[in-house]
Amino acid sequence: MRRGHTLPELLLVLAVVTLLFLLALPRGGRTLDGLLARQAADRIVAAHGRARSIALARQRVARLLVSADSLQVVSAVSVIWRLAGPSVAGAALEEGSGETSYAPNGQAMGAANARYLLRRGTAAVEVLVSRLGRVRAVRIVE
């Protein structure tokens, strides 16, 4: 009775496993890019929600300042809340860095619609803010 495997059998199995890994690697990279781009978009969505909540709770105008490396909610002249920006997830903020203000009633003030475009590798996510302050993230398929 034979125990174990021969060297050619082990090399054949190793070659098949390596081939399968190499075939799956590019797809895994695209998936990771998509997840990290979505995570960066979720940070911006959460920041808008936080700014709106602060405006409602304090009954004052709250401004959300969005840049690639930080998200800040400012009320009057003091920073109330801060979070790392989209660059912490490795995503680039290609469009839309700026400011959105929320009135004491929770509605967005200023520009009609805000738009942020986040990209990481081949993945892109767009964050849209309506005039009423509704925020949603949309994955862009290219």
Write the DSSP assignment of the chain as a string of letters. ---S--HHHHHHHHHHHHHHHHHHHHHHHHHHHHHHHHHHHHHHHHHHHHHHHHHHHHTS-EEEEE-SSEEEEEETTEEEEEEE-GGGGT-EEEE--EEEEE-TTS-EESSS-EEEEEEETTEEEEEEE-TT--EEEEEEP-
Residues 12, 18, 24, CA angle at the centre, nearest 5°?
140
- Split at pLDDT 50, 70, 90, the class of 32 is confident
* 55 in any annotated domain: yes
CA 138/CA 96 separation, integer angstroms: 15
Q: In this predicted model, which residue has the larger pLDDT, 111 or 84? A: 84
Distance CA 33, CA 140 (A): 13
Q: Reply yes or no on whether the pLDDT at 26 is more than 90.
A: no
The answer to the question of residue 125 being in a domain is yes
- The CATH number that applies at residue 104 is 3.55.40.10
Asked if residue 11 belongs to a domain, the reply is yes
Tell me, yes or no, whether 2 lies in a domain: no
What is the residue range of 26's domain? 7-140
Model pTM score: 0.78
CB–CB of 39/118 below 8 Å? Answer: no
Q: Go through the chain and tell me how many residues it has.
A: 142
Q: Are 19 and 105 a contacting pair, CB within 8 Å?
A: no
CB atoms within 10 A of CB 99: 14
62 pLDDT band (50/70/90 cuts)? very high
Q: Tell me, what's the pLDDT at 111? A: 61
φ, ψ of residue 73 in degrees (nearest 5): -110, 125
Q: Count of domains in the chain?
A: 1
Residue 19 lies in a domain: yes
Question: Is pLDDT at 97 greater than 70 in this prediction?
Answer: no
1 falls within a domain = no
Residue 50's pLDDT is 93
22 occurs within a structural domain: yes
96 falls within a domain = yes
